[in-house]
Chain A
Amino acid sequence: MNVAIVGCGAMGQLHAQMASNCGLRIAVCADAVKARASALAKIHGAVAVADIDAALARKDVDIVALTSPTPTHAKLIVAAAKAGKAIFCEKPITRTVAEGRTALTAVQKAGVPLFVGHVVRYFQEFEALRLQAQSGVIGHVGFIKTFRGGMCPVGSAGWFRDFAKSGGAVLDLLIHDFDWIRYAFGDIERVFCQNLMRERPTIMDYAMVTLTLKSGVIAQTIGSWAHPEGFRVKAELCGTDGMLTYDSAEAPIAVMPRQHGKKSPNTIVPSSPVDKSPYQLEWEDFIAHIGGHAPARVTPEDALAALHIAECALKSAKTGAPVTV
């Protein structure tokens, strides 16, 4: 099967490699910035195009991978569905739930497979947490605490830092935790959220969210785009008979590059290699789904539900009141 990568930034480069690892052929690399498309196309022996609509319509493309900024997703999903392509879309599915519903309708009408990259479901550490919790080793889980964050990302033309476009830490970052908590522990009843979304003097966001699940379980999730450097993920599950904890800072490998002639502090870069990248696992799941096997671990409805929780959180942050999901 042939893949068109739409959006050739960091995520486009990552997913092109993952699709390629799965034996797919990268046929087209599309990006409004032609140079970016060309650079990625060169690596994979693909055609580079700047005209995204043309890329979606190409007959030699079976799968479209949407790795462009969030606000472009809705239109691209609809166009790809109309062209009859299978669709891999980075999370969030769309910028708004309303857009997401329209996109899903188009996908259903076209009868094409759609996969949204809620990759945390495929992360080995999170799957281990889920399976350990499910095993009953810590009894009944009643409280969940997560942290995910680091520097405020930039993105093409700084789109991440335009909170109207990215939705900030809640919609772009914590949506991972919303999805995973819902996946592992069930539907959310209520959301309360505080966030910063500061533009001056420094662009940063920091979001603190409490989810109350339908089961009564409480989850507090913290998301940071406010740290000067690094990226860290922490998770803690508290149960009636014990606790499960995870901290990415306890990675097995720490690399400390020596800085020559520079005043900047040395940064420790942690690394935690696994047998297979979770991004490749999600591609394998998607490919099996296209092949007519069982639904993927993440369904389009799951992606829309996670986005809905994020939207409720942003509403709560604005109003200062809890929002019923």
Chain B
Amino acid sequence: MMKIGVMSFAHMHAYSYAACLNDLPKATLPAVWDDDPKRGKAAAKRFDAAYFSDLHRFLYSGLDGVIVCSENVKHRKMVEAAAKAGLWILCEKPLAVTVADARAMIAACKKAGVGLGTAFPCRFAPTLIEVHDRVRAGELGEIYAASCTNNGKFPGGWFADEKQAGGGATMDHTVHVADALRWITGKEFVKVYCEKGRLLGRDTNSDDVGSVHMEMDGGTIVSHVASWNRAKSFPTWGDVTIELIGEKGVLHVDAFSQKLDVYCDKTMRHEWASWGGNADMGLVRDFVEAVRARHAPSVTGEDGLRAVEVTEAAYRSAETGKMVSVRA
């Protein structure tokens, strides 16, 4: 039985990961740490775990691994502390707010001899797994272009503060697609151009929409919308879509569109009810297995770093008004 703790419930994905831990037969969630006691105690109660306010006591409470879901800017400190305690780590995306932080985290885990994974659940979505497999089997031939979106509703809270999130919608909603494209095509990003702004009146001190253009090695061209552009009244949280233009054909995927339309008079709302695969469960199961086998999770810290390189380049591009190299 692998004992996995959750470090901070600042990111809402922590609740889904915690539920997965409780559902997995080979894992338990014995301990929760949070620097917000109220939030931490409530989460501990909900998932039947012990709450720790002291980080050291939490890290040395007999855990095998931790899932880090703090505010983005705290990822580095959390990961470094957990690595020092010899724990396997799954870190929420983006891995870090800067390339320098991401590199330091990877180095710390390497030094401590612990596995570091980045939480990219898209890699465990059955829809995107099929896209990956069909592209890798050569069904589309060479991929020439990709047009993507990761739209969402405005998350508010610390996401709206670039001091805690490291950026805005472009920071929040570029990494999933960047990682998915690397995984699907096997190519790396080389150049990035970005136009972004606070254009939708969201209550943030950063951008609420970014239009990102990228180039991958071999010349594949990519466009992407990273946004908090979904209306509050939109029937779902957002989307991940990718259109691939290949030599042998075109593929369009709307990764989370396996849904029912729910029209409810009690709430006067129209919402989507998902019936598709549970990508979070795949992600957490993979992590638990990595902890047990003492090897790195399938989606590594390096994968997280590659995506952070893209977001950092996007912000650098927006600042300079130029297309910039990913490896500065």
Contact = CB atoms under 8 A, between A and B. Distances in A.
Interface string B147-167: 101000000000000000000
A196 B245 contact: yes
Given A143-B229, A192-B193, A208-B221, A217 B199 contact: yes
A141 to B, nearest CB: 9
A206 B201 contact: no
Nearest to B219: A196
Interface stretch (B174-182, B230-238, B305-313): B230-238
B144 A194 contact: no
Interface in A86-114: none
Interface string B74-117: 00000000000000000000000000000000000000000000
B249 interface: yes
Contact of A142 (B209, B243, B249): B209
Interface string A196-225: 101001101010101010001110101010
Given A226-B245, A227-B250, A196 B225 contact: no
A195 B234 CA distance: 32
Given A238-B227, A240-B200, A143 B250 contact: no
A239 interface: yes
Given A198-B144, A206-B144, A222-B223, A216 B231 contact: no
B269 to A, nearest CB: 14
Contacts of A242: 231, 233
Interface string A146-166: 010000000000000000000
Contacts of B233: 242
A194 B197 contact: no
A130 interface: no
A243 B238 CA distance: 13
B68 interface: no
Given A142-B209, A196-B144, A218 B199 contact: yes
A297 B20 CA distance: 58
Contact of B213 (A190, A201, A210, A240): A210
Contact of A206 (B191, B229, B245): B245
Given A142-B209, A210-B211, A238 B229 contact: yes
Contacts of A226: 144-145, 245, 250
A140 to B, nearest CB: 7
A220 B145 contact: no
A196 B146 CA distance: 11
A118 to B, nearest CB: 24
A171 to B, nearest CB: 18
Interface residues of B, number: 35
B322 interface: yes
Interface string B207-233: 011010101000001110101011101
A274 B211 CA distance: 34
A138 B245 contact: no
B209 A218 contact: yes
A146 to B, nearest CB: 11
A194 B250 contact: no
Contacts of B243: 222
A322 interface: yes
Q: Range of interface residues on chain A? A: 35 or more
B261 interface: no
Given A192-B193, A192-B195, A139 B230 contact: no
Given A208-B223, A212-B195, A194 B247 contact: no
B277 interface: no
Q: Pick the most buried of B208, B231, B243: most chain A CB atoms within 10 A of its CB.
A: B231
B191 A320 contact: yes
A33 interface: no
B279 interface: no
Contacts of B215: 194
B184 interface: no
Contacts of B195: 190, 192, 210, 212, 218
A288 interface: no
Contacts of B147: 147, 206, 208, 222
A228 interface: yes
Interface string A115-140: 00000000000000000000000111
Contact of A243 (B209, B223, B231, B322): B231
Contact of A143 (B144, B227, B323): B227
B241 to A, nearest CB: 11
A145 B321 CA distance: 21
A242 B323 CA distance: 31
B249 A228 contact: yes
A185 to B, nearest CB: 12
Contacts of B230: 243
Q: Pick the most buried of B196, B201, B222, B230: most chain A CB atoms within 10 A of its CB.
A: B201
A241 interface: yes
A57 interface: no
A42 to B, nearest CB: 39
A243 B229 contact: yes
A321 B221 contact: no
Given A208-B147, A222-B147, A240 B211 contact: no
The 10 closest A-B pairs by CB, nearest first: A142-B199, A240-B201, A208-B223, A238-B229, A194-B221, A210-B211, A242-B231, A142-B200, A220-B211, A243-B231
Interface of B: 144-145, 147, 149, 191, 193, 195-197, 199-201, 208-209, 211, 213, 215, 221-223, 225, 227, 229-231, 233-234, 243, 245, 247, 249-250, 321-323
Given A239-B200, A240-B200, A242-B233, 15 more contacts: A143-B199, A143-B200, A192-B193, A201-B247, A206-B147, A208-B145, A210-B195, A210-B213, A210-B223, A218-B195, A222-B147, A224-B250, A242-B231, A243-B231, A322-B323
16 contacts: A142-B200, A145-B225, A192-B213, A194-B145, A194-B213, A196-B221, A206-B145, A206-B221, A217-B199, A226-B145, A228-B249, A238-B227, A238-B229, A243-B229, A243-B234, A320-B191
